[in-house]
Amino acid sequence: MTLTTTLTDPAAPADATPVLSVRDLWISFPSEAGPVEAVRGVGFDLQPGRTLGIVGESGSGKSATAMGIMGLLPPSATVSGEVLLGGRDLVGLGDKELSGVRGNGIGMVFQDPLSALTPIYSVGRLLRDALRVHQDLTKQAAWEQAVELLDLVGIPDPRERAKSFPHEFSGGMRQRVVIAMAIANKPSVLVADEPTTALDVTVQAQILDVLRLAQRETGAGLVLITHDLGVVAGYADDVAVMYAGRFVERAGVDQLFRRPTMPYTARLLAAVPTVDSGVHRPLVAIGGEPPTPADLPAGCPFASRCAVALDACRAEEPALREVTGHGHVACLRADEVADGTLDPAGPEGAADEHPGPVRTGAGEVVLRVEDLVKTFPITKGALLKRRVGTLHAVNGVGFELRAGETLGLVGESGSGKTTTLLEVLRLRRPEGGRIEIAGTEVGTARSAADVRELRQNVQIVMQDPLGALDPRLPVFQLLAEPLQAIGRDRDAIRTRVHELLTLVGLDASVGDRFPATLSGGQRQRVGIARALATEPKLLALDEPLSALDVSVQAGVINLLARLKRELGLAYLVVAHDLAVVRYISDRIAVMYLGHIVETGDTEAIFADPKHPYTRALLSAIPVPDPQRERTRERTVLRGELPSAARLPAGCVFVDRCPLYRLAGEDVRLRCRTERPAPSVVAGQPGHAYACHAA
């Protein structure tokens, strides 16, 4: 079940009156250190049917802007400026008046669909209530409309599903419901705050299509807030880049991506890992961290991280001004950048180190996994748990990982990639198959000392560094703990901790600080340093970058590459962001429902994906280039990952496979009845895929 679409530019009305005009919007929140200016003078016009993308990192004020437009800021916030919806100023209106606008004039789509729906009401009831707030409908009529809306956003069997509760829906389906609620009363403006960030990349493509459909259906103008430049490139008509509470660049999507003029935008684009076809371009990290809104520097807030900053930049904050043939830019040197005489990356901005996956030669095998099986029982009943089924989380997975090599496990959530990682880390005999770490088979170790030695060889870096580090221990203690566990003496620990901090590029003074006072990038560096403390051979990285901002991400990617080169580590990486995986992995294993469906060298897989699932996965990733993003052929997978409780007898991908539908009857029969074995691609050793039809 696939849909091959080519994106086209939506018809852009030339000079319609804007549905939403924001003029000089300021938002500040009280804090212990005085008022914090989260948004400082934001302004834009939104035409009906058009999409404005607002891009920024966390803390840039993009969500505060959205909440300010919606009138959903906490009462303690101070708002000034104008938000004109159809000519009516919303700033300063009371909650009662604003509630007449919310959902009626402006609809909103939120980031996390798992928590955005009231758990105790059925989705039909939620939609019915949303309709009845603004329209004088009987319960029956509103219910009928709710069912129609669910049908519109692509919920199968809407009449029955309307009676279901949010927890019975998957994340993607819940986001469809949230969109249905946002468009229920046909608002003229839609605000979508990171609508796809919490979703899988294949589901993201579906949701963006639904959003596009919703926009077409209502003719609404859309404010799309995101950190993903790829989403903006494919979706927005105009783009505004936010930094430290202001728009620093605002332009049409083509102009912006063709020649980003504010150095921040340019550097941001250079720091985004992409899955572009063609050669690898090196990632250039911006360096430094975005300023906190509580403590803004005097001049341009980006000056301290900018490679081409002048002295004047640090004196006064430049205003947003028009640059001919481009858009609006807040930079003193915008003209130079715009006409191409100045490279915003600066004279020394060229790649200072090559971060691409440099293979340090095939070393010894650090990890060997053969035919790994992990199942979970599905139980029923409150007191007497009886087993009613089996969830096949990992089913016959096997791979090899050598020193100095990175293997990326990719797939949608529920594909079994994290379970595989955890099975390796568990250091117990697996349910089925075998795991061998540095030549020792896991589960055969007899004494506790053997297990401890094995543990020393395998360490993990977690997804959320704030959650993974004990908030009550200073960094020094955090790093010393694993060393104490292996019985190092005090002096050795002190030297090693300093070594570790230097190794991950942190200042020695960080040792006295608590995790809460560090920035996200620093925290993840501490997490990596802690994992490296015992000099492991294998590092398991569970979504190591997904909690970090784009501009910080590149620095950590480069750090990981350097550490691997210098220490000869082996990485086992689980990540949902394929672009990131491409940058750090030598080899990739694509997982689907607990099976590896394709494996091979990273470049081979990206250049020539064989398995239909790999193809769909790769094509779902948005590319931060509007031209290519809008013209390329996309294979959008229909539906979502089925439950691993009832695996099909044949190929596990058969329900969603685009090739299956086109295949001949004999092939179809094999797909349904016979599980495909991996076959090696001719001329590409190590590249194997499991498919009958490809």
Partner 1 sequence: MLRHVTRKAAGWLLMIAVATNATYFLASWFLDPRSNYQGLRPVRSEAQIDVALAPYNLDPRVPLVDRWWDWLTSVVLRFDWGKSPTGVSVNGEIGYRSLVSAELVVLATVLSVVVGVALGVHTASRQYGWADRVSQAVSIVVFNIPTSVAALAVVFVAIWLNQHAGLHFLYVAGENSPDVHGLLPTIGDRLLHLILPTLTLTLMGYVGYHLTQRSLLLDTINADFVRTAQATGLTRAQAIRRHALRTALIPTATSVAFSVPAIFTGAIITETIFGWNGMGRYFVQTISKNDVHGTVATAAFAAALTAIGAILADIATVFLDPRVRVS
Interface residue list for partner 1 (CB under 8 A)? 70, 72, 95-96, 99-104, 107-108, 110, 112, 115-122, 129-130, 133-134, 165, 167-168, 178, 181-182, 184-185
**CB of 193: closest distance to partner 1 in angstroms?**
10
User: 472: exposed, middle or buried (C-beta count within 10 Å: 0-12, 13-18, 19+)?
Assistant: exposed
Alpha-carbon span 651 to 595, nearest angstrom: 10
Alpha-carbon span 205 to 638, nearest angstrom: 10
Choice between 170 and 599, CB closer to partner 1: 170
Concatenated DSSP letters of 114-171? TTSS-TTS-HHHHHHHHHHHHS---HHHHHHHHHHHHHHTT-SSHHHHTTS-GGGS-H
Alpha-carbon span 542 to 421, nearest angstrom: 8
Choice between 131 and 504, CB closer to partner 1: 131
Choice between 117 and 272, CB closer to partner 1: 117
CB-based contacts of 630, cutoff 8 Å, min separation 6: 6, 7, 8, 9, 234
Angle between helices 490-503 and 520-532 (to 10 degrees): 130
CB 515 within 8 A of CB 24: no
Choice between 198 and 372, CB closer to partner 1: 198
Closest by alpha carbon to 103, among 203, 198, 183? 183
**CB of 157: closest distance to partner 1 in angstroms?**
17
Alpha-carbon span 328 to 280, nearest angstrom: 31
Closest by alpha carbon to 510, among 478, 532, 467, 547? 478
Choice between 76 and 447, CB closer to partner 1: 76
Cβ count within 10 A of residue 467: 11
Choice between 58 and 118, CB closer to partner 1: 118
**CB of 198: closest distance to partner 1 in angstroms?**
11
Choice between 50 and 128, CB closer to partner 1: 128
Choice between 191 and 578, CB closer to partner 1: 191
**CB of 166: closest distance to partner 1 in angstroms?**
8
How far separated are the first and last CA of the chain, in Å rounded?
16
Choice between 117 and 690, CB closer to partner 1: 117
Choice between 54 and 179, CB closer to partner 1: 179
**CB of 225: closest distance to partner 1 in angstroms?**
14
Alpha-carbon span 180 to 636, nearest angstrom: 21
**CB of 124: closest distance to partner 1 in angstroms?**
12
CB 390 within 8 A of CB 384: no
Could you give the strand order of the β-sheet that contains 365-380, starting from the edge strand earlier in sequence?
386-402, 365-380, 432-437, 440-441
Half-sphere exposure in the Cβ direction for 294 (13 Å, CA): 6
Choice between 113 and 260, CB closer to partner 1: 113
Alpha-carbon span 73 to 61, nearest angstrom: 12
Phi, psi of 297 (to 5 degrees): -70, 170
**CB of 165: closest distance to partner 1 in angstroms?**
5
3-state secondary structure 47-90: CCCCEEEEECCCCCCHHHHHHHHHCCCCCCCEEEEEEEECCEEC
Angle among Cα 212, 188, 69 to the nearest 5 degrees reads: 100
CB 591 within 8 A of CB 397: yes
**CB of 112: closest distance to partner 1 in angstroms?**
6
Cβ count within 10 A of residue 86: 13
The single-letter DSSP state of residue 111 is S
Alpha-carbon span 677 to 501, nearest angstrom: 46
**CB of 104: closest distance to partner 1 in angstroms?**
6
CB 544 within 8 A of CB 555: no
What's the gap between Cα 74 and its chain centre? 27
**CB of 67: closest distance to partner 1 in angstroms?**
8
- Tokens describing residue 636: 């959008």
**CB of 36: closest distance to partner 1 in angstroms?**
17
**CB of 17: closest distance to partner 1 in angstroms?**
24
**CB of 109: closest distance to partner 1 in angstroms?**
9
**CB of 181: closest distance to partner 1 in angstroms?**
6
Choice between 96 and 472, CB closer to partner 1: 96
Phi, psi of 54 (to 5 degrees): -110, 115
Choice between 46 and 300, CB closer to partner 1: 46
Choice between 95 and 322, CB closer to partner 1: 95
**CB of 387: closest distance to partner 1 in angstroms?**
18
Choice between 121 and 399, CB closer to partner 1: 121
Half-sphere exposure in the Cβ direction for 271 (13 Å, CA): 27
**CB of 478: closest distance to partner 1 in angstroms?**
30
Choice between 96 and 386, CB closer to partner 1: 96
